[in-house]
Amino acid sequence: MGLRKKSTRNPPVLSQEFILQNHADIVSCVGMFFLLGLVFEGTAEASIVFLTLQHSVAVPAAEEPATGSKSLYYYGVKDLATVFFYMLVAIIIHATIQEYVLDKINKRMQFTKAKQNKFNESGQFSVFYFFSCIWGTFILISENCLSDPTLIWRAHPHRMMTFQMKFFYISQLAYWFHALPELYFQKTRKQDIPRQLVYIGLHLFHITGAYLLYLNHLGLLLLVLHYFVELLSHMCGLFYFSDEKYQKGISLWAIVFILGRLMTLIVSVLTVGFHLAGSQNQNPDAITGNVNVLAAKIAVLSSSCTIQAYVTWNLITLRLQRWIEDSNIQASCMKKKRSRSSKKRTENGVGMETSNRVDCLPKRKEKSS
């Protein structure tokens, strides 16, 4: 698939510039190897591990009388292969959105280099958050989590996941893992790399934790809340880049941001209180998902509280920095206006004095002829 960016230069093959310009094509070729593996009988079994979800168990019809037999899933080592393949898919989709949507908007709007980087970042995240919010909400509705909120903290007998739940988590992990090589492909500035690594690492840590501890419904609900707030943030950024008169939208997002963090804390505390505090089993078993011990309660709750405090502190510091910058700009503008007005006054004063002095000079008497 032709995803390479148009360029008048032809860099040497396998050079850094060649890889950056054609990384989507290279990744597409790697993905095609896994698809071609399905054609041959000897490699089909290995290719299926990368393309489809693994570790499935068929539930007997006696346990599911209404729907008959049903396949449920648990996690395992083979999930790493599936995450790797869909990470390649995420890189291809990222390059497609960048070239066919964002680059065309950048050429039309003629942004500066700094605004262009922020616009690309907000555009990519907006697409991902919008799609994830719709997909996550659909899963919550289909599994009756909104009509029966007790499913969020109620213990599940199978300690397993449905197909759509596992595929959602695999896709989330693949997306955030793909963000790591994108730092290289997008030529991210060195001063921005630590911030991006922390942002990506926090998402990977919490998504992986919810996946491995079978806190699927809780993690999904918190992700939807978090993604919705982040979607508003990046949408406000996109509108602000297009026209700076939308500055008020950023202030509105700050209010929604605080409300979203409070809702996340409330859901986390309720889940820990009702689900994890249901019994005191001191023999945890990560394979069966039995994490109902005091250490797990403290870890889950402290992790949720820590991340909310961290992102809230970042918001406060960011708003303070912008407020200081705006106040400094306003102060400098006021000083310039005052200096200009005082200069005009002094010039007018000197002009008045000169005219008065000229008027006050004694007139020379005309000589009589």
pLDDT score for 286: 47
Instruction: Take residue 165 and report the two structure tokens written for it.
Output: 């739940």
pTM for the structure as a whole: 0.79
Residue of 2, 154, 170, 12 whose CA lies nearest to 83: 170
Tokens for 143?
């599994």
With a cut of 70, which residues of the chain have pLDDT below it?
Answer: 1-9, 61-69, 153-158, 242-253, 273-297, 322, 326, 340-369
Q: What is the DSSP string of 111-151?
A: --HHHHHHHHHHHHHHHHHHHHHHHHHHHHHHTTTTT-GGG
Tokens of residue 299, six digits: 């870890």
224 is written with which tokens? 């939807």
CA atoms in the 13 A half-sphere facing the CB of 327 = 6
Segments making up each domain of the chain, as ranges: 52-56+71-281+290-324
pLDDT of residue 2: 40
As a whole number of angstroms, the distance between CA 262 and CA 210 comes to 20
pLDDT score, position 356: 52
pLDDT of residue 152: 74
Residue 315's alpha-carbon distances to 161, 265, 302, 318, in angstroms, are 35, 17, 20, 5
Residue 219: predicted pLDDT: 87
